[in-house]
Amino acid sequence: MSSIGTGYDLSASTFSPDGRVFQVEYAMKAVENSSTAIGIRCKDGVVFGVEKLVLSKLYEQGSNKRIFNVDRHVGMAVAGLLADARSLSEVAREDASNFRSNYGHNIPLKHLSERVAMYVHAYTLYSAVRPFGCSFILGSYDQDDGPQLYMVDPSGISYGYWGCAIGKAKQAAKTEIEKLQMKDMTCRELVKEVAKIIYIVHDEVKDKSFELELSWVGEVTNGKHELVPKDVREEAEKYAKDSLEEEDDSDEDIM
Amino acid sequence: MERNLIDSQIKGVSTGTTILAVTFNGGVIIGSDSRASIGGYYVSSKTINKLIQVHDRIFCCIAGSLADAQAVTKAAKFQISFHSIQMESPPLVKAAASVLKELCYNNKEELQAGFITAGWDRKKGPQVYTVALGGMLLSQPFTIGGSGSTYIYGYADAKYKPDMSKEECLQFATNALALAMGRDNVSGGVAHLVVITEEGVEHIVIPGDKLPKFHDE
């Protein structure tokens, strides 16, 4: 599917004859190898869901988080090289903090995502460094501007979304997201749907166990980004598992 | 408004001026006198402008050393303008006041200037912020400042009402300025008033002889 660079892919400071920067494309490949993360914006907030693959039974539950808090009102879900993502979350945190220090109010998400995207883009210009191997989804809720959702990829572009997915099952997840009427849903309804989508796109054969990381920010949390409380999470996971069983059952009926 | 040894000893660091800003229903009025003085005995300018526009709907009035105030407002105006272009929307009054505060606080050793920032923004409507000498930032429904303000604290406290109409507020501000300019020897000249609302900005100048007169004038 992908063409080999053959000489034009050795550094980010080189274009190929057909106008591509291969190093950036390879960085995006790194994101596609990672497990899925989705973010969906609804009427009154934003919900994040991450399929966190558990590679060893020895891992402590809840470790290696893939959803970060960037500021009180901003959350960030990542896919790709986790170390790169952690370093970028620090960049985003500093940016949000400096903004608040200079201007006295919460940083608007569009501005934050453009700033971090600019930073990511800078690493695609020079041969001395490599591009960041991670994509991330930023979400926030503000009383006046409402819920906002932005995604930044390794090339340094940021786009606003109503729903987006990154990682290995992003195509399947996008299909599921498109079926939702998110503009009319509340966070509480959406949390269950997000859990269901993660369960649907999770590949039982290739990847064994996974932990579902869910977080939200919206009117329901008073504008604070936080992990979804235990009871809501359990309800969402139950809904997800039940929906999957239903689908399995209906398949059997047809047969 | 250059500092003078005698001046500082007598009056402390607030120097020759009267400034105020008052919110009303739908907007804010910011006002000042127009006298610049050296010490307490020479009027270096009768028609100085102490109301600086830092953005479309945000004004600052200055007190203290005129040189310091002009330098700070120039830097602040640039920063706010750049910030507004980056944000692709008009700046919040709080953001403008914070920019001034950062400049005052981080350079507090060198500077001797205080500000009143007032304006209108889409998020919170009309607002007034005081940025004091050392860099304190405070939001208030109305505020008065400068050496002339000491003579009108009583008047302002007694006569201010929240949610006034534009006319009532204009009357309040004009009276306050007139009373202060009447008693403070380093405040005087004309009264400058700017009315800021969502629709726009209106600049009113009242020459000294047209100011309201009180019992012994």
Domain locations in chain A? 22-244
Mean pLDDT along residues B93-107? 96
ipTM (interface pTM):
0.81
Please give the Cα distance from A139 to A160 (Å, whole number): 10
Mean pLDDT along residues B195-200? 96
pLDDT of residue A67: 96
pLDDT-derived band at B1, boundaries 50, 70, 90: very low
Please give the Cα distance from B198 to B27 (Å, whole number): 7
Closest residue on chain B to A142 (Cα): B123
pLDDT, tens digit, 9 for 90 and up, residues A138-152: 999 998 889 999 999
Contact A207, A35 (CB under 8 A): yes
Mean pLDDT along residues B20-39? 92
A contact test, residue of B93, B117, B123, B131 with most A CBs within 10 A: B123
Q: By mean pLDDT, which of A59-68, A92-101, B14-23 is the weakest?
A: B14-23
Closest residue on chain A to B101 (Cα): A102
pLDDT of residue A255: 52
3-state SS assignment for residue A162: coil
pLDDT of residue B12: 35
Q: Is the pLDDT of residue B190 over 70?
A: yes
pLDDT of residue B7: 45
Order of strands, sheet of B113-121, starting from the edge strand that comes earlier in the sequence = B51-55, B58-64, B113-121, B125-131, B137-140
Q: Is the pLDDT of residue B128 over 90?
A: yes
3-state SS assignment for residue A224: coil
Please give the Cα distance from A34 to A82 (Å, whole number): 9
- Average of per-residue pLDDT values in chain A: 92
Q: Is the pLDDT of residue B116 over 70?
A: yes
Query: CB-based contacts of B155: which residues, under 8 Å, 6+ apart?
Result: B175, B176, B179
Chain A residues whose C-beta is within 8 A of a chain B C-beta are: 101-105, 108, 111, 144
Chain B closest-CA separation from residue A119 CA (Å): 16
pLDDT of residue B43: 84
pLDDT of residue A3: 57
- Looking at residue A124, its amino acid is T
pLDDT of residue A1: 45
- Average of per-residue pLDDT values in chain B: 90
pLDDT of residue B8: 43
Beta-bridge partner residues of B206: B191
Q: Note whether A104 contacts B86, CB cutoff 8 Å.
A: no
**Percentage of residues of chain B with pLDDT beyond 90:** 74
DSSP at B21: E
A239 vs B67, more confident: A239
Please give the Cα distance from B190 to B34 (Å, whole number): 6
Least CB–CB distance from B123: residue in A103, A111, A144: A144
Please report where in the chains the tokens 């020479």 appear, as a residue.
B42
**Burial B127-159, CB ≥16 within 10 A → b, else e:** bbbbbbbebebeeebbbbbbbbbbbbeeebeee
Write out the two tokens for B215: 């019992």
pLDDT, tens digit, 9 for 90 and up, residues A29-66: 999 999 999 999 999 999 999 999 988 889 898 888 99
Side-chain-facing half-sphere of A60: CA atoms under 13 Å = 4
Beta-bridge partner residues of B19: B32, B145
**Burial A231-250, CB ≥16 within 10 A → b, else e:** ebbebbbebbeebeeeeeee
Query: In this structure, are strands A134-142 and A74-80 parallel, antiparallel, or unpaired?
Result: antiparallel
Contact B180, B151 (CB under 8 A): yes
Whether B143 is catalytic: no
Chain B closest-CA separation from residue A111 CA (Å): 6
pLDDT, tens digit, 9 for 90 and up, residues B39-85: 777 888 888 889 999 999 999 999 888 889 999 999 999 999 999 99
pLDDT of residue A207: 79
Q: Is the pLDDT of residue A218 over 80?
A: yes
Is domain A22-244 in CATH 3.30.1360.70, yes or no? no
Domain ranges across chain B: 19-35+53-207
Please give the Cα distance from B7 to B64 (Å, whole number): 12
pLDDT of residue B16: 82
Query: CB-based contacts of A243: which residues, under 8 Å, 6+ apart?
Result: A196, A199
Q: Note whether B97 contacts A102, CB cutoff 8 Å.
A: no
pTM here is 0.86
Q: Is the pLDDT of residue B2 over 80?
A: no
CATH number, domain B19-35+53-207 = 3.60.20.10
pLDDT of residue A251: 61
Write out the two tokens for B186: 């380093």
